[in-house]
């Protein structure tokens, strides 16, 4: 039976990165993936396809709505959904081949099949009727997550869509209902709204993207409404009827108890994701789980079996590709005897809408929950010269600092290119900078990033441009 130093189960951004790092460190490494293409959720049905469609639809929408303001006059502008879909597929397959190439370059053995633990050192690989078994000194579980369905509304990927189905629709629906105004909802809802769909959200809580800073979430909602997205907040779906290629939802307002119905060609259910451990046979080997259904790990990513590790969406923490990859690198280094440290506080998160939303560190409410005394600084992009030049004046930067020490606690951006700007903010949070230290840095002029400096100045009531 072939034996490896490290066997990774799952080839998402956690698993494939762990495999590459382990191989770089001289460990004999294999990766088992049940699906033919490598790359997991992120590459095949997540980050990459969604960002490809977000970009194409944003360009189309901006040409139509903002071109004239800049003196760009287009006639007969239209889009071809099938070409957008081809672009999505070609970006994915390019990276599938890229990971394949990286595996070969790093001499990682790849197994196609479902990995299942037989013992803490043995893994069965099932492909159709065939099963083979390999041995591993160390095993890294990186099997990711899956979308949560509503119990009375199972996914059929035609009318009742998960994000996977919503990325690959045959045509742009005239009407779309989105249940859950979280990250997937606002991203994919934006794609279809820009291309002409009437998009109605039904959100259980009283604000969209409820894990974001409340001020951000409120401003974001107003901005998205101008794109035509409609939000029914504090609303609960109580029933559903599918007939003649349409879906009708019964919805109850949680505050007024008023009952309403919404109908559409399709419904996207995106109410969160849950860890995916099906088929791993964890119970048999005695791997402990958390009450939330995640694999329980210690601070070295060890499960209750010390040679079996788990990372990414399968364990606690934000379900983000870059978090999974950082953990992949860290766990490979731990197995090789190194002592890596991940700064979870400085992990940014981004929503790739227009404008984008990005954050690192705590929200104001989180800081207050920790009994921290806070002071805040806010600077609006409408007072930023670059934002005015490029017609991207929506949004703001909000900085939360400790009231006594001035240490940066959280930075939140709603604005164009927030996804790029947040990187410098993550450095500032990681380096434990104060708001004054950030304010005292020179930012190139004219740039959108100057709003970060001004927001830091605002913490000290010293803004120049507002």
Catalytic residues: 445
CA angle 372, 375, 378 (to 5 degrees): 135
Examine residue 98 and tell whether it contacts ligand NAI (CB under 6 A): no
Residue with tokens 């070295």: 300
Examine residue 317 and tell whether it contacts ligand NAI (CB under 6 A): no
Residue 93 has which token pair? 């397959």
Sequence-distant (≥ 6) Cβ neighbours of residue 183 within 8 angstroms: 209, 351
Interacting partner of 182 out of ligand FAD, ligand NAI, none (Cβ under 5 to 8 A depending on kind): ligand NAI
Minimum distance, C-beta of residue 8 to ligand FAD, in the bound complex (Å)? 9
Residue closer to ligand FAD, measured from CB, 12 or 189: 12
Residue closer to ligand NAI, measured from CB, 313 or 406: 313
**Pair 123, 116: CB distance under 8 Å:** yes
User: How far, in Å, CA of 397 to CA of 378, rounded?
Assistant: 6
User: How far, in Å, CA of 411 to CA of 367, rounded?
Assistant: 12
Q: Work out which of 7, 23, 42, 433 binds ligand FAD, going by CB under 6 A.
A: 42
Residue length, the chain?
466
Examine residue 182 and tell whether it contacts ligand FAD (CB under 6 A): no
Minimum distance, C-beta of residue 69 to ligand FAD, in the bound complex (Å)? 29
Residue closer to ligand NAI, measured from CB, 116 or 325: 325
Sequence-distant (≥ 6) Cβ neighbours of residue 1 within 8 angstroms: 122, 133, 134, 135
188 to 207: interface string for ligand FAD, x by CB under 6 A: --------------------
Examine residue 32 and tell whether it contacts ligand FAD (CB under 6 A): yes
User: How far, in Å, CA of 188 to CA of 182, rounded?
Assistant: 10
Examine residue 108 and tell whether it contacts ligand FAD (CB under 6 A): no
Instruction: Tell which positions 339-398 bind ligand NAI, by CB under 6 A.
Output: 349-352
Q: Work out which of 6, 8, 11, 92 binds ligand FAD, going by CB under 6 A.
A: 11
Q: Work out which of 313, 326, 364, 406 binds ligand FAD, going by CB under 6 A.
A: 313
Examine residue 43 and tell whether it contacts ligand NAI (CB under 6 A): no
User: DSSP 3-state helix, strand, coil percentages of the chain (rounded to 5)?
Assistant: 35, 30, 40
User: How far, in Å, CA of 81 to CA of 445, rounded?
Assistant: 39
Minimum distance, C-beta of residue 45 to ligand FAD, in the bound complex (Å)? 6
Interacting partner of 11 out of ligand FAD, ligand NAI, none (Cβ under 5 to 8 A depending on kind): ligand FAD
C-alpha pair distances (Å), 426 with each of 267, 328, 346, 431, 438: 36, 20, 5, 8, 12
Q: Are strands 122-127 and 145-147 parallel, antiparallel or unpaired?
A: unpaired
Instruction: Tell which positions 110-129 bind ligand FAD, by CB under 6 A.
Output: 114-115
User: How far, in Å, CA of 328 to CA of 143, rounded?
Assistant: 12
Residue 404 has which token pair? 């006594």
Binding region for ligand FAD (CB under 6 A): 9-15, 32-35, 40-42, 46-47, 50, 114-115, 142-145, 163, 184, 276, 279-280, 312-314, 319-322, 324, 352
Residues of the shown chain interacting with ligand NAI in the complex, contacts defined by CB under 6 A: 179-185, 187, 202-205, 210, 237, 270-273, 318-320, 349-352
């Amino acid at each position: 039976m072939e034996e490896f130093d490290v066997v990774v189960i799952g080839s998402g951004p956690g698993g494939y990165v762990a495999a590459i790092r382990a191989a770089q460190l001289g460990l004999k490494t294999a990766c088992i993936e049940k699906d033919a293409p490598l790359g997991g959720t992120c590459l095949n049905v997540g980050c990459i396809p969604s960002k490809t469609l977000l970009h194409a639809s944003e360009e189309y929408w901006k040409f139509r709505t903002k071109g004239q303001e800049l003196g760009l006059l287009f006639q007969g502008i239209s889009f071809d959904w099938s070409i957008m879909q081809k672009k999505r597929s070609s970006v994915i397959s390019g990276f599938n081949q890229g990971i394949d190439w990286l595996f070969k370059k790093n001499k990682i053995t790849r197994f196609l099949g479902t990995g299942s633990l037989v013992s803490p050192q043995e893994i069965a690989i099932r492909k159709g009727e065939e099963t083979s078994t390999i041995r591993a000194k160390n095993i890294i579980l990186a099997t990711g997550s899956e979308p949560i369905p509503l119990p009375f509304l199972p996914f059929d990927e035609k009318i009742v869509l998960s994000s996977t189905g919503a990325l690959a629709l045959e045509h742009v629906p005239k009407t779309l209902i989105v249940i859950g105004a979280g990250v997937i909802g606002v991203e994919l809802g934006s794609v279809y709204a820009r291309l002409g769909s009437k998009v109605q959200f039904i959100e259980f809580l009283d604000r969209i993207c409820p894990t974001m800073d409340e001020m951000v979430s409120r401003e974001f909602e107003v901005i998205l409404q101008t794109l035509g997205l409609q939000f029914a907040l504090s609303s609960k779906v109580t029933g559903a009827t599918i007939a003649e290629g349409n879906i009708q939802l019964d919805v109850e307002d949680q505050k007024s108890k008023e009952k309403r119905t919404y109908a559409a060609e399709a419904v996207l259910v995106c109410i969160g994701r849950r860890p995916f451990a099906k088929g791993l046979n964890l119970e048999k080997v005695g791997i402990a789980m958390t009450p939330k259904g995640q694999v329980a790990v210690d601070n070295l990513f060890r499960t209750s079996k010390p040679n079996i590790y788990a990372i990414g969406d399968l364990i606690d923490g934000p379900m983000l590709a870059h978090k999974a990859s950082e953990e992949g690198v860290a766990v490979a280094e731990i197995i090789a005897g190194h002592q890596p440290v991940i700064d979870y506080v400085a992990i940014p998160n981004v929503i790739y809408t227009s404008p984008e939303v990005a954050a690192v560190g705590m929200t104001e409410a989180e800081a207050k929950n920790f009994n921290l005394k806070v002071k805040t600084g806010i600077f609006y992009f409408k007072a930023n010269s670059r934002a005015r030049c490029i017609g991207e004046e929506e949004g703001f930067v909000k900085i939360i600092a400790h009231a006594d020490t001035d240490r940066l606690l959280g930075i939140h951006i709603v604005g164009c290119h927030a996804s790029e700007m947040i990187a410098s903010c993550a450095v500032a949070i990681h380096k434990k900078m104060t708001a004054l230290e950030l304010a005292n840095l020179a930012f190139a002029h004219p740039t959108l990033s100057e709003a970060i400096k001004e927001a830091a100045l605002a913490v000290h009531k010293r803004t120049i441009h507002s």
